């Protein structure tokens, strides 16, 4: 007979996602998770199995919420250039949001030794970056093929450069964030790429 979950799973997952986003995988202890989720150790292990399994669930939740916003910004714009600019706008909106637990995107925070040393978590990072890269390549290729971008633009290289720059934005925002300055830098960066 299957066990019944004795706590509000969605609420607990939302709180755990917030904590992982704020403190990162390595910086979040089981004790902190149990406290913020308001559950006992037995319920935790019976339902969620391990900190790693909970983290995987939290990353999926993050992607379904924050990741979806950025994906919609990228894919709903009429052109690749406008979509990429809208994507960066969504990132800056996240950085401006005072209720955001960290200036570091939860996905960007996964690029750490602690996370990447775990094969299952590393695969999640690689798959996430690969998916994002593929979306960028798709948008850029379509616009290049339809003449909206230079015929010499290499969608794969350009997408890789955008992915790398985006990861850098999150890191630099930890040091010194000023939206107008970031907007000027993003504009110069994308203009230099022909976007």
Is the torsion defined by CA of 160, 56, 59, 104 positive or negative?
negative
- 156 and 137 Cβ atoms separated by less than 8 Å: yes
* DSSP letter assigned to residue 78: S
Is the overall model pTM greater than 0.75, yes or no? yes
Q: In a structure prediction context, what are the per-residue pLDDT tens digits for the chain, which is 195 residues long? A: 345 556 788 898 999 999 999 999 999 999 999 999 988 888 888 888 889 999 999 999 999 988 899 999 999 999 999 999 999 999 999 999 999 998 888 888 888 888 899 999 999 899 989 999 999 999 999 999 999 999 999 999 999 999 999 999 999 999 999 999 999 999 999 999 999
Token pair 């890789």 in the structure block, residue: 160
Q: How far is Cα 110 from Cα 103, in angstroms, rounded to an integer?
A: 14
**DSSP designation for 64:** I
End-to-end Cα distance, the chain: 57
Q: Which stretches does DSSP call E strand in 10-153?
A: none
> Residue 31's CB: how many other CB atoms inside 10 A?
9
Q: Are 154 and 76 in contact (CB under 8 A)?
A: no
Residue-level pLDDT at 1: 39
Pick from 70, 73, 92: nearest CA to 178: 92
């Amino acid at each position: 007979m299957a066990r019944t979950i004795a706590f509000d799973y969605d609420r607990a997952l939302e709180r755990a996602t917030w904590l992982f986003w704020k403190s990162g995988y390595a910086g979040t202890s089981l004790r902190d998770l149990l406290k913020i989720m308001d559950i006992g150790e037995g319920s935790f292990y019976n339902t969620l199995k391990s900190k790693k399994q909970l983290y995987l669930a939290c990353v999926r939740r993050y992607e379904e919420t924050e990741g979806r916003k950025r994906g919609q910004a990228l894919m709903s714009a009429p052109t690749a250039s406008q979509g990429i600019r809208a994507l960066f706008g969504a990132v800056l909106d996240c950085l401006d949001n005072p209720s955001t637990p960290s200036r570091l995107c939860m996905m960007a925070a996964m690029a750490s030794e602690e996370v990447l040393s775990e094969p299952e978590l590393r695969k999640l990072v690689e798959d996430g970056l690969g998916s994002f890269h593929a979306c960028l390549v798709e948008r850029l290729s379509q616009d290049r093929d339809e003449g909206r971008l230079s015929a010499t633009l290499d969608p794969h290289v350009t997408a890789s450069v955008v992915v790398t720059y985006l990861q850098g934005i999150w890191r630099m925002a930890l040091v010194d964030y000023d939206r107008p300055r970031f907007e000027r830098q993003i504009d110069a960066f994308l203009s230099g790429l022909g976007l």
